[in-house]
Structure 1
Amino acid sequence: MRPFEIVLVVAEALVCLGLPFRPPRVSALLGLVIPVAVAVQVLAEGARWPMAPAYVLAAFLGVWALGAIPAVRQQMNDGRALLPGGRTRRAGVVLAVAMAVVVTVPSLLPVFRFPSPTGPYGVGTLTYHWVDHSRREIFGPDPGAPRELMAQIWYPARAEASARRASYMQDDALPDGVARLLGVPGITFRHLRQVRTNAVAGVPAVPGRHPVLIFLTGAHGFRQSNTFQAEELASRGYVVAGLDQPYTAAAVAFPDGRTVRALPRDRMRALIDQSLTHTLPQGLIPHLARDVSFALDRLSDLDRADPRQVLTGRLDVARAGVFGVSLGGIVAPPAANLEPRLRAALVMDARMTAEVVRDGVRTPAMWLTRDAATMRREGWDETEIQQHQATMRAAYGKRPADGYFVTMPDTFHLDYTDAAAWSPVSSLLGFSGPIGAERAHAIINAYTVAFFDTYLKGARPALPVFSGVHVETTPALSPGPPSG
């Protein structure tokens, strides 16, 4: 919980401890202070629904305190309990249960903190709306509408310790979309809007031209889903553009107020499954892969003249890579095969298309995934496990370029995203594997940085070594020197 939330809950606990017992005067006086503590907490940190039990209890205690004052005055001389006999015991049980709810709900759904990036730079962020007038939106209701994207960019920036950090999510459409995917009430994840990242909006970029990376999220995901990874890369000197791709992202909110929600799960699954068995020149995967080329074009435009006057002259699109998780990991290799500007592709826990199984990946590629036993423990269907493992292995085995296959046992699918860190009980709920989100993210970041440093910066870092993690390498080519 946040600092003022803790103060409020502790004050309520003190009142509840004293309310059924004697002398009641201290509890009554504290009870009058509780509504003030609520007002201070809401003004300082903002209200959020997981604190609703605390707010309701605060209202009860405030009303009780007002009503109890005359009785307190009468009883101050004799020290009698305000709630005598059995009523005292019953009140104690009720208040104990109430306090358990007050503490548990906001603790399970916290306003969590992202770990500080370990690179030498601060992190800046900007969001852009891009329209591709050369392509039609094949999944929308209007066949004449152009393809549109929302892009969030993280970049190396001058560190400003006192600057206000950017919000994790900017509107209710996204957390509502995530809740819809999980089948829970829309309000469930709205508190994530109050989570602050390590990035500062619009802060000046570090001088120099930096390699660029395109990030692709999973089905029903969102462009910020791997903020832990994007911020680490930005702090290490990369510009990362995370894409919200309409009809596959959970909810894409455009500047004019429109919100485009994802295709129904069954339809999207069918479209993805088609790519696993057929080489399709059109369809979902090629459509998403072309977004990557379009994004690189827009990044080139920003390098020439950023309308925000932040990224002009800062982007080296000649040194570009792509990385993705789940559906984004499926799309990353076809995008690399399509786009000659991409020099490296990182795939996180994703099946491969028929095209990639047949041809491999033309650029150096790294797969980050887990073993079949871990997938069974997570509850995956045996057919899905076989598709997942066999297609990745087949694509890795083609080896037209350098390849790395990193197996991370005890990681579940959401460990490859921020979602594993949303709650301290993610492991108990089956959202995070035994490895835990903190260790999983540290390992993922270490391999991500080492991989892209090798192929986009011409560095020669040693591959990280972690206990229990198995790394296979098939270097067919030596990494070339960086351009620019």
Structure 2
Amino acid sequence: MRLLEAVLVIVNPLAFLILTLPVPHAVRALRRAAPVVLVPAAAQILLEGPRWQLVPAYVLAAGISAAGLLHGSAPAHRPRPRTRSRKLAALLTAGLGAVALMASAALPALLPVFSFAPPTGPHRIGTTTRHWIDTDRPEAFAAGPHARRELMVQIWYPADSGPDAPHTPYVHDGEVFAAMARLARVPEFTFGHLRQVTTNAVASAAVAGDRSRYPVLLFLEGAMGFRQMNTFQVEHLVSHGYIVVALDQPYTAASVRFPDGRRTAGLPPDRLRALIDRSFDPAGETPGGRVFDDGLIPYLTRDVTFTLDRLAALDRADPDGILTGRLDLHRIGVFGVSLGGIVTGEACRLEPRLRACLMTDTRMTPGVVREGLAQPSMWLTRDTATMRREGWSAGDIGQYQSTTRAAFRKGRADGYFVRVPGMFHADFTDIPSWSPLLSRLGITGSVPAERAHAIVNAYSLAFFDRHLRNRPSPLLDGPAQPHPGVLLETRRP
């Protein structure tokens, strides 16, 4: 809960008690000061921004203020006897006020404007967003014959910035949260307050000068996700000296807004699931009258190849003058969650420029299972029992477990298979921070959000440090490690 929200939630019940409870004569004058409760309400709205979860607090503040004004303007008179009807009215007022007080405190706590933990690394964080068009490739999902594949790409990097520099919003396109709400079958405004969340990044800050170049990591979002959905992980890696490049892949992302105002919505979930499933079938799929040459996953994988080409051009000459000569393109890794993890595996199979591959809670394509990966690879996932508790079907569990296991065994470089019992699919993303209610609703698992994110961050950093920077990573050697319950298996070629 933010500072002014907390002040409002504390002031309201104090003012309510002064108005409703019998108090000594000397304290009754405080009732005339009840309108002061509007000050924190107005300050919160003006400085932090209004949100629907605080509507009960706003209404309560207005009611208390009005009651205080009426009390102060009423002529003095002798107390009238408390009749039964007056007692009932007082009880009703107190009851409604108590309900409003509980709602005014509970709603902002259950759906908070949360904060990302300060990064633990030595670097501050800068960020910039780019719009890239692949003029050589048609957009398979667009109706027009001349449409070309477009990507929105966000880049985070180690930065030199003052501690007081304004931090960037979590997302710039609020439609993302409306799409997520539709996916969860709740009203579209439910997650609207997350637009007020800020990150630890500063827009267009200068790149940190402690070294000339930084290794690069690509991040690939999940189906119906968004490029910032693993900000907790991205900021951790950047603070430890990595440049992270996140792709919004239109039509498989929840919503993608382009600089000219155009927006592409994600495909209906059933349609997207069918396309993904068909990507594991050589027959391919036909969206909107066009045929994928070899399935959806290879189509999305070409976004990765295109991005690598654009990063090379960016390193030669950044039009914004930020990243020229700062990308270490000889040390590039990639990580992705869910659908992004599938694309990560396929991209690593086909693209030798990728030197380290981290797949999170996903299955592997037939090509990856058949050939294995030539790069060092890590799988972050969980056990069968946890997937069953989350409600996954036996068929999905079998495919996820068997394909990742097979790819792990088939790999031609160092491999790591990390399982975290109790973590659900959403726990590998920012989503557990959105609300403590999510565990009650079965969306997140039994591992607390802070611990789940600490595990993901620790193994991600250890993996990329070892295989992109040649740094010691004792966490990957096991069995002694600071995260009890985590199951680590390693494989050497």
- Please tell me the TM-score bracket, short chain as reference: over 0.9
- Residue of structure 1 in register with 2:20 after alignment: 20
- The residue number in structure 1 matching 2:67 is 64
Residue equivalent to 2:46: 43
Report the Cα distance in structure 2 between the residues aligned to 1:279 and 1:332, rounded to whole angstroms.
Answer: 22
1:49-80 superposed Cα distances (whole Å, 9 cap, x missing partner): 21112112222222333333233x525x7698
Distance in structure 2 (CA, Å) of the matches to 1:49 and 1:317: 46
Deviation at 1:94, TM superposition (A): 1.2
Report the AA paired with residue 308 of structure 1. D
CA contact (8 A) 2:282 2:294 kept: no
**Counterparts of 2:403 and 2:257 in 1: how far apart (Å)?**
34
Matched with 2:239 is 235
2:263 to 259, 262, 266: 259
- The 3 A distance-change label for structure 1 pair 74 and 350 is same
Deviations 1:401-432 (A, max 9, x none): 22110011110100100001111233222222
Per the alignment, residue 316 of structure 1 pairs with: 328
Query: SS state of the match for residue 335, structure 2?
Result: strand
Classify 1:405/1:80 alpha carbon distance in 2 versus 1 (closer, same or farther; 3 Å). Answer: farther
Q: Could you list the runs of 5+ residues in structure 2 that have no partner in the other structure?
A: 285-292
Q: Could you tell me which amino acid in structure 1 is paired with residue 123 of structure 2? A: Y
List per-residue Cα deviations over 1:345-397 (Å, max 9, x = no partner).
10000011122121122211100000000011111111111111111111111
Cα shift at 1:437: 1.1
Could you say what secondary structure the match of 1:57 adopts? helix
Is 1:429 the counterpart of 2:470? The answer is no
- Structure 1 residues 88, 285: closer, same or farther in 2, change over 3 A? same
How far apart are the structure 1 equivalents of 2:190 and 2:43? 24
Contact 2:126/2:158, CA 8 A, preserved across alignment: yes
Counterpart contact for 1:21–1:81, Cα < 8 Å: no
Partner of 1:274: 278
Match of 1:203 among 182, 202, 205: 205
Deviations 1:173-221 (A, max 9, x none): 1111111211111111111111111111111111311111110010000
Say whether residues 1:52 and 2:64 are aligned partners: no
* 1:25 to partner: Cα distance: 4.0
CA contact (8 A) 1:150 1:244 kept: yes
Residue equivalent to 1:289: 301
Contact conserved, 1:16 with 1:27, CA < 8 A, in 2? no
Give the TM-score of the pair, scaled to structure 2. Answer: 0.92
* Amino acid of the structure 1 residue aligned with 2:50: A
Match in the other structure for 1:481: none
Matched residue, 1:474: 491
- Separation (CA, whole Å) in 1 of partners of 2:207 and 2:251: 32
| Cα deviation, residue 456, structure 1 | 1.1
- Is 1:146 matched with 2:163? no
Q: How does 1:344-383 map to 2 (within 5 A)?
A: 344-383=356-395
> Contact conserved, 1:279 with 1:353, CA < 8 A, in 2?
no
CA distance in structure 2 between the aligned counterparts of 1:459 and 1:283, rounded to whole angstroms:
38
Partner AA of 1:19 in structure 2: L
Code of the residue aligned with 1:248 in structure 2: it is T
CA 1:265/1:79 → structure 2, altered by over 3 Å: closer, same or farther? Answer: same
Q: Is the 8 A contact 1:322 1:342 kept in 2?
A: yes
**SS of aligned partner of 2:191:** helix
Offset, 1:26:
4.9
2:181 corresponds, among 173, 179, 182, to: 179
* Alpha-carbon separation, structure 2, partners of 1:110 and 1:27: 32
Q: Say whether the 8 Å CA contact 1:14–1:27 is kept in structure 2.
A: no
Instruction: Give the stretch that moved more between structures: 208-217 or 155-164.
Output: 155-164
Cα RMSD for the two superposed structures: 1.9
Aligned residues: 474
SS of equivalent to 2:488: strand
Task: Check conservation: 2:181, 2:191, Cα contact below 8 A.
Answer: yes
Which residue identity does 1:468 align to in structure 2?
Answer: G
| Structure 2 counterpart of 1:157 | 159
CA displacement 1:92-119 (0-9 Å, x = unmatched):
1111111111111111110101111111
Other structure's SS at 1:187 match: coil
Give the Cα separation in 1 of the matches to 2:186 and 2:34: 35
Change in 2 beyond 3 A, CA 1:167/1:80: farther
Q: 2:288 is matched with which residue? A: none
User: 1:90 Cα deviation (Å)?
Assistant: 2.0
8 Å CA contact retained: 1:323, 1:332: yes
**CA deviation vs aligned residue, 1:279-317 (integer Å, no higher than 9, x gap):** 865221011111111111121122111122111111112
- Residue 484 of structure 2 aligns to a residue in which SS? coil
Alpha carbons of structure 1 residues 12 and 6: separation in structure 2 relative to 1, 3 Å: same
Matched-pair contact (CA < 8 Å) for 2:251–2:265: yes
- State the secondary structure of the residue aligned to 1:96: helix
- The aligned residue for residue 116 of structure 2 is 114
Partners of 1:9 and 1:79 in 2: CA distance: 33
Identity over aligned pairs, percent: 52
Are the equivalent residues in 1 in contact too, given 2:158–2:238 (CA < 8 A)?
Answer: yes
Shift of 1:265: 0.8
| TM-score calculated relative to the size of structure 1 | 0.94
Closer/same/farther in 2, CA of residues 178 and 27 from structure 1, 3 Å limit: farther
Cα distance in 2 for residues equivalent to 1:4 and 1:13? 15
Matched with 1:5 is 5
Deviation, 1:238, is 0.6
2:290 aligned partner: none
Deviation, 1:319, is 1.0
Task: Tell me the CA shift for residue 336 of structure 1.
Answer: 1.0
1:467 maps to a residue whose letter is P
2:229 to 225, 248, 251: 225
Could you say which residue in structure 1 is the equivalent of 2:398? 386
Partner residue, 1:482: none
The separation in 2 between residues aligned to 1:99 and 1:155, in whole angstroms, is 44
Query: How far, CA to CA, are the matches of 1:289 and 1:80 in structure 2?
Result: 80
Counterpart-to-counterpart distance in 1, 2:442 and 2:323: 41
